[in-house]
């Protein structure tokens, strides 16, 4: 029993020792926990400080980022507006380019049509020029032939003229040998009829009388002939007038008055606007109204 008690006591002591050891261990653990807690508190404090700093940095960076985001948004908005503006301008340029292209096409079409017209006109002119050249060559050939014919005709004319001159001389010689009709007077190779001094007719009536006698009003070409007529009659109609064309004096045989004629001073003056026939007096010519009645001189 004593042994049992001793055994129990020993067990109790062992338990106590174990309990003490446990207490010591718990104390140590507690101390370690406290130490660890202290270390964790310090670490936590440091962490909190660091976290605070980080939060401050984050807050600052967030503010900066927000500011930058605002700037970026403004920049993006500005770039978007610029892009839209550029796009609108590009679209407008495309429209303008399309309009310019159409306008250029219209202008080019007009220019091409004008050039085509000019080209066709040029071709037409060239064809016309070629035709004219061909006609000119034909005309040159024809002219050459005409020139040859003209030379032949001129040669024949010269021969005829020479023959005519010869015949004229022979005719003059024959006229000189042939006596003038009764009542006519000879001067050189011509015969003249002088109307009675008491007789008078208009210029046209005088000419008709001469033509009825197989003659015509006198044609005066020399001063000697005029002097001869003036010695025989004081004033009379001669075969000169400008009835066909005013100022264009012609003899009754159709030949023109040569030179200045034998006009009186200041004549012809077409006084009154109707002096178209010529009478001779005082060895000079004078224009007078054709319906005036004078004596007359015929020539054959």
Report the distance separating Cα 211 and Cα 193, nearest Å. Answer: 12
Question: What is the distance between the alpha carbons of residues 285 and 297, in angstroms, rounded to a whole number?
Answer: 14
Structure tokens given for 2: 């004593």
Farthest-apart Cα atoms in the chain, separation: 238
Sign of the Cα pseudo-torsion (224, 230, 232, 233, in order):
positive
Q: What share of the chain is helix, strand, coil (3-state, %, to 5)?
A: 65, 15, 20
- CA 8, 12, 17, 22 dihedral sign is positive
Q: What is the pLDDT of residues 127-150, one digit of tens each?
A: 888 888 888 888 888 888 888 888
Q: Which residue has the higher pLDDT, 78 or 224?
A: 224
- 209-240 tens-digit pLDDT: 999 999 999 999 999 999 999 998 889 999 99
pLDDT at 47 over 70: no
What pTM does this model have? Answer: 0.46
Residue listed under structure tokens 């004096």: 249
Task: Give the pLDDT of residue 205.
Answer: 97
> What CATH fold (topology level) applies to the domain 180-299?
Mannose-Binding Protein A; Chain A (3.10.100)
Distant-in-sequence, close-in-space partners of 262: CB < 8 Å, separation ≥ 6: 220, 223, 226, 280, 283, 284, 285
């Amino acid at each position: 029993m004593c042994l049992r008690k001793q055994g129990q006591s020993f067990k109790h002591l062992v338990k106590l020792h174990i309990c003490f050891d446990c207490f010591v261990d718990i104390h140590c653990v507690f101390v370690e926990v406290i130490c660890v807690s202290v270390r964790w508190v310090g670490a936590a404090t440091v962490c909190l400080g660091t976290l605070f700093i980080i939060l401050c940095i984050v807050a600052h960076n967030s503010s900066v980022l927000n500011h930058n985001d605002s700037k970026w948004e403004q920049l993006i908005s500005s770039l978007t507006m610029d892009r839209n503006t550029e796009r609108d301008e590009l679209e407008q340029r495309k429209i303008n380019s399309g309009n310019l292209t159409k306008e250029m096409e219209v202008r080019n079409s007009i220019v091409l049509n004008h050039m085509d017209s000019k080209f066709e006109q040029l071709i037409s002119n060239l064809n016309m020029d070629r035709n004219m050249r061909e006609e000119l060559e034909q005309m040159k050939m024809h002219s050459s032939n005409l020139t040859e014919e003209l030379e032949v005709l001129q040669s024949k004319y010269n021969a005829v003229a020479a023959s005519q001159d010869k015949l004229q001389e022979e005719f003059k010689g024959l006229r000189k040998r042939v006596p003038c009709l009764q009542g006519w007077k000879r001067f050189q190779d011509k015969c003249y009829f002088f109307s009675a001094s008491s007789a008078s007719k208009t210029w046209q009536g005088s000419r008709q009388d001469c033509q009825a006698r197989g003659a015509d009003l006198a044609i005066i070409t020399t001063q000697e002939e005029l002097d001869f007529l003036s010695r025989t009659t004081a004033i009379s109609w001669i075969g000169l007038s400008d009835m066909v064309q005013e100022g264009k004096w012609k003899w009754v045989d159709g030949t023109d008055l040569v030179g200045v004629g034998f006009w009186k001073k200041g004549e012809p003056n077409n006084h009154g606007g109707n002096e178209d026939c010529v009478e001779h007096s005082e060895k000079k010519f004078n224009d007078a109204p054709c319906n005036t009645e004078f004596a007359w001189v015929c020539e054959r």
